[in-house]
Structure 1
């Protein structure tokens, strides 16, 4: 609280006139993050497209705020934007015919995928460095000892048009196709 107050140019005790405690600040921060994620719309009539748009938006927002990954699931007092967000996602799935347990499984799977991908992206080398890192790994691989890894590096990661961020859409499509098969 002292650091927040210092950043705002006020005394720490004056913050308590606006928020009861640090948890309330964290709850508010999470709500701001959820408010930035595009809500899935029911207007398309295609649940997969609605969830795809929401997943892409969530990835973009969480990529800008990767510090929030551990925070979003830890809060016990969700704010209105968080509640609205979760209700909208569940609504899309329920209206599409998902059973209640299946809708819960779908949200868990999709959100785990988004969070895992954002975490992986945050820790991977920058796009321009991927080829350089791949070259360095390949240079230090004992010849013939890791043939499949060498194949991925030379046949995939070192291609000039390779963009590891495109893997998100591929994985999301697999998840949505699997959920659709289960929904039927």
Structure 2
């Protein structure tokens, strides 16, 4: 029998399968990937550097949807805000992978390139070196939390008895559709305003 025209196993298939398992179960394992692909576990290890390597492949795949050109819009604040929106959209498409990526060091070279670019934007704008990573991490915390919020139900508060929490009931009744987007933009504007203060003090 001749070799199949399409390889049975490669890094792309491993990454796609890992993302599918995480979307379904919130987790993945190398044996689970092997079972899903119909191969031996050892065969998977021939293509990746263990579990950590697969996590980085997933990070690279998810982050490939972030539009890095947003970091070249001219002004640091417009660039950072546009990057945050693109970053949020990329991770909102894979919300269940966020806990895995947030608890694993970033190693993927293509992802590190985006951080390098973001650092360059901030340093070029005049931010103090000691403030740069704080700004990026704060923005990431906002982005990733909001990406998870996008995956949550529109109604996150259920009041069995509105008379017990009347002020909360009134506030919830006033919430317009698209609360996650509105909350993200509110928080993003607050972050950018605070970052402007850091820059002024630098």
Contact 1:40 1:53 in 2 (8 A): no
Partner residue in 2 for 1:17: 46
Is 1:175 aligned to 2:170, yes or no?
no
CA distance in 1, matches of 2:72, 2:60: 24
Contact 2:60 2:108 in 1 (8 A): yes
Partner residue in 1 for 2:148: 119
- Structure 1 residue 92 displacement after superposition: 1.1
Q: Classify the secondary structure of the residue corresponding to 2:47.
A: coil
CA distance in 2, matches of 1:148, 1:20: 53
- Structure 1 residue 41 displacement after superposition: 4.1
- Structure 1 residue 69 displacement after superposition: 1.3
Structure 1: 5+ residue stretches without partners: none
CA distance in 2, matches of 1:20, 1:179: 38
Partner residue in 2 for 1:162: 177
Contact 1:40 1:92 in 2 (8 A): no
Partner residue in 2 for 1:153: 172
Distance 1:80 1:175, change over 3 A: same
Contact 1:98 1:183 in 2 (8 A): yes
Moved runs in structure 1, 4+ residues, more than 3 A? 40-43
Q: Classify the secondary structure of the residue corresponding to 1:10.
A: coil
**Which residue among 30, 51, 66 is the counterpart of 2:80?**
51
Partner residue in 1 for 2:124: 95
Partner residue in 1 for 2:27: none
Contact 1:66 1:118 in 2 (8 A): yes
Equivalent residue pairs, number: 170
- Structure 1 residue 147 displacement after superposition: 4.0
Contact 1:63 1:118 in 2 (8 A): yes
CA distance in 1, matches of 2:85, 2:53: 28
CA distance in 2, matches of 1:147, 1:21: 53
- Structure 1 residue 38 displacement after superposition: 1.7
Distance 1:62 1:24, change over 3 A: same
Partner residue in 2 for 1:64: 93
Partner residue in 2 for 1:79: 108
Structure 2: 5+ residue stretches without partners: 1-29
